[in-house]
Chains A and B, each alone.
Chain A
Amino acid sequence: MTQTSIRDMLYESPGPKAKKRIRFFTGLALILLAALLALVIRQFAVTGQFAEKYWSFFARFTTWRFLGEGLLTTLEAALTGSAIAFILGFLLMRGKLRRNRILRAVSTALIEFTRGVPTLLFIYFFFLVVPKTGWKPSAFWKITLPCAISACGVVAEALRSGVNAVPRGQTEAALSLGLTETRLFYKVVFPQAFRFVIPSLIAELVIVLKDTTFAYIVTCADLMQNAKVLISNYDAMLSVYLVVAVIYILINYLLNKISDRLALKLRRTAAEGSKA
């Protein structure tokens, strides 16, 4: 069953009358949407935002190279942040599933803390407080570390739900075969759990990538920061910010699409498995 299935079950194939009505409203909707688009374009034209000077520099290679450099830093920060979030999240998940009560309580508290505090607060912490302690991380780490910390709680919970989704019988079987608990976890439970949660890990990558947009606070030369430089060079606020927003949207859209695909595939394999 695909995601959109419910859409097509809501109504049967329309009769002649309904067809007419649908055609009428389709036309009406098209006119309204076209009017909306026309209004936007008119506003651009009236305010002179289509002027060549706002857009011509996008034809230059240097513009795209500069934006590309920023994008590379953005991706680097997002990937590094996600990797650190994964390691921290893994440790927290292990802690929360331990029998040791103190370890469990500490892990749970840390998970709830990182999930309940906005990324911006962590970023300001690394921006305003951390340098005063004598440790002076570079701009890159000042954005990457807070993003990672803010994501690790969510990653921990995702991993935990993956671990819980592994059938209990496998644990029992492995234990009765004489595996130690550590080997049981790394050889049997975790590989499967990891597969289950790959889609949510990719979704988390999107969240980290979005959070790195705040890199301008710590003046790390990411996509957004480089966009600002372009703006001051060409005095073209609207066009540059629009292009940058579209770049962000496209990347996140692609990542989300991949995540959805994988989730669908996993659900299918699971359904086949339960049938067999």
Chain B
Amino acid sequence: MSIQALLTEYGDKYLQALLTTWRLTVISFAAAFLIGIVITVLRVCPIRPLRMFGDFYVQIFRNIPGAALLILLVYALPYLQIIFPYDACVLIATILIPSAFCSEHLMSGMNTISPGQIEAARALGLTFFQMIRRIIIPQALRSTVLPMTNLLVATMLTTSLASQVPMRPRDLTGLVSYINTRAAGGVAAFVISAALYCATALVIGAVGSLIDRKVRILR
């Protein structure tokens, strides 16, 4: 089928799929970001068991393949009488994995802060949480805009996991395999989805480097 024929027949389906991919990406990234910050605070707090828990969490979700995690959530957890609907399983997987990478980026962002600032903050009598909130997090965020932009793109790519479960509405990857099993969509079906993914990634990248230029701390 040509691209035009595909668009007239499946145009609204593609639009829906694009919106689904965007929705999954935005929700996953926002949640992963918040969890990433919490985990990072745990990893630097003075309470050793919490630090170890934070490190453990990051190592688990940084290293588990997305497919393995999704399969565990969808097929294995019901044996423990923990049953999530399909879209929840996808979201959990696409939140947990990026959250670990988010924490890793924040940790390396924190390492760019000079020790003198911490000493100054302590000399001024700031508490641990004041220091985290006023000194560490703002600077860690400002110096990690580019890694975070890449993480947002990676999160979008991870949401293609949604094609592995019977989830409705379908995401961009799921729609392509659906079209190809129903009719011979051929190369064109892939080209449309790929173009939509790429366009999104390029926009994210452009906005990211714009923000980075605005907020980066020159050292």
**Residues of chain A at the chain B interface (Cβ within 8 Å):** 1, 3, 5-7, 9-12, 14, 22, 25-26, 29-30, 33, 43-44, 46-47, 49, 112-113, 115-121, 124-125, 128-129, 132, 206, 209-211, 213-214, 216, 224, 237-238, 241-242, 244-245, 248-250, 252-253, 256
**Residues of chain B at the chain A interface (Cβ within 8 Å):** 43-44, 46-51, 53, 59-60, 62-69, 71-72, 75-76, 79-82, 107-108, 110-111, 113, 115, 118-119, 122, 128, 131, 136, 153, 156-158, 160-161, 163-164, 172-173, 176-177, 180-181, 184, 186-187, 190, 193-194, 197-198, 200-202
Q: How far does the alpha carbon of A179 sit from the alpha carbon of B67 in the complex, in Å?
A: 49
Residues of B within 8 A of A7 (CB): 43-44, 51
Residue from B53, B71, B156, B202 in contact with A33 in the complex, judged by beta carbons closer than 8 Å = B53
Q: How far does the alpha carbon of A1 sit from the alpha carbon of B108 in the complex, in Å?
A: 12
Residues of B within 8 A of A33 (CB): 49, 53
The verdict on A242 contacting B50 (CB below 8 Å), with A7-B44, A43-B81 known, is: no
The verdict on A237 contacting B76 (CB below 8 Å), with A10-B128, A249-B60 known, is: yes
| Contact in complex: A124, B128 (CB < 8 Å) | no
Could you pull out 17 A-B pairs where Cβ atoms are within 8 angstroms?
Answer: A5-B111, A6-B113, A11-B122, A112-B201, A115-B153, A115-B201, A116-B200, A118-B156, A124-B190, A129-B186, A129-B190, A210-B67, A213-B66, A213-B67, A245-B64, A248-B64, A249-B64
Nearest first, the 6 closest Cβ-Cβ pairs linking A and B are A116-B201, A118-B160, A252-B63, A116-B198, A210-B65, A213-B65
| Contact in complex: A29, B180 (CB < 8 Å) | no
| Contact in complex: A117, B197 (CB < 8 Å) | yes
| Contact in complex: A120, B163 (CB < 8 Å) | yes
The verdict on A248 contacting B63 (CB below 8 Å), with A9-B118, A117-B197, A242-B76 known, is: yes
Residues of A within 8 A of B76 (CB): 237-238, 241-242
**A213 to B: closest C-beta gap in Å:** 4
Residues of B within 8 A of A115 (CB): 153, 201
- Interface-centre pick from A9, A120, A241, A253 (highest chain B CB count, 10 A): A120
| Contact in complex: A224, B197 (CB < 8 Å) | no
- Interface-centre pick from B67, B75, B108, B173 (highest chain A CB count, 10 A): B67
| Contact in complex: B128, A117 (CB < 8 Å) | no
Residues of A within 8 A of B65 (CB): 209-211, 213, 248, 252
**A154 to B: closest C-beta gap in Å:** 10
| Contact in complex: B46, A22 (CB < 8 Å) | yes
Q: How far does the alpha carbon of A121 sit from the alpha carbon of B195 in the complex, in Å?
A: 11
Q: How far does the alpha carbon of A171 sit from the alpha carbon of B151 in the complex, in Å?
A: 34
| Contact in complex: A26, B49 (CB < 8 Å) | yes
Residue from A10, A47, A248, A256 in contact with B44 in the complex, judged by beta carbons closer than 8 Å = A10
Summarize B's interface: helix, strand, loop or mixed: helix
Residues of A within 8 A of B156 (CB): 118
The verdict on A3 contacting B177 (CB below 8 Å), with A49-B79, A117-B197, A244-B68 known, is: no
Residues of B within 8 A of A25 (CB): 47
Residues of B within 8 A of A29 (CB): 47, 49-50, 53
| Contact in complex: A117, B198 (CB < 8 Å) | yes
Residues of A within 8 A of B62 (CB): 252, 256
Which residue on A lies nearest to B181, using beta carbons? A128
- Interface-centre pick from A5, A11, A26, A224 (highest chain B CB count, 10 A): A11
Residues of A within 8 A of B197 (CB): 116-118, 121
**A218 to B: closest C-beta gap in Å:** 12
Q: How far does the alpha carbon of A224 sit from the alpha carbon of B70 in the complex, in Å?
A: 12
**B212 to A: closest C-beta gap in Å:** 16
| Contact in complex: B49, A241 (CB < 8 Å) | no
| Contact in complex: B194, A47 (CB < 8 Å) | no
Q: How far does the alpha carbon of A167 sit from the alpha carbon of B67 in the complex, in Å?
A: 41
Q: How far does the alpha carbon of A214 sit from the alpha carbon of B76 in the complex, in Å?
A: 17
Residues of A within 8 A of B163 (CB): 120, 124
Residues of A within 8 A of B201 (CB): 112, 115-116
- Interface-centre pick from A44, A119, A121, A238 (highest chain B CB count, 10 A): A121
| Contact in complex: B184, A116 (CB < 8 Å) | no
- Interface-centre pick from A12, A125, A214 (highest chain B CB count, 10 A): A125
Q: How far does the alpha carbon of A1 sit from the alpha carbon of B107 in the complex, in Å?
A: 14
Q: How far does the alpha carbon of A47 sit from the alpha carbon of B194 in the complex, in Å?
A: 43
| Contact in complex: A112, B202 (CB < 8 Å) | yes
Q: How far does the alpha carbon of A249 sit from the alpha carbon of B58 in the complex, in Å?
A: 11
**B176 to A: closest C-beta gap in Å:** 6
| Contact in complex: A113, B198 (CB < 8 Å) | yes
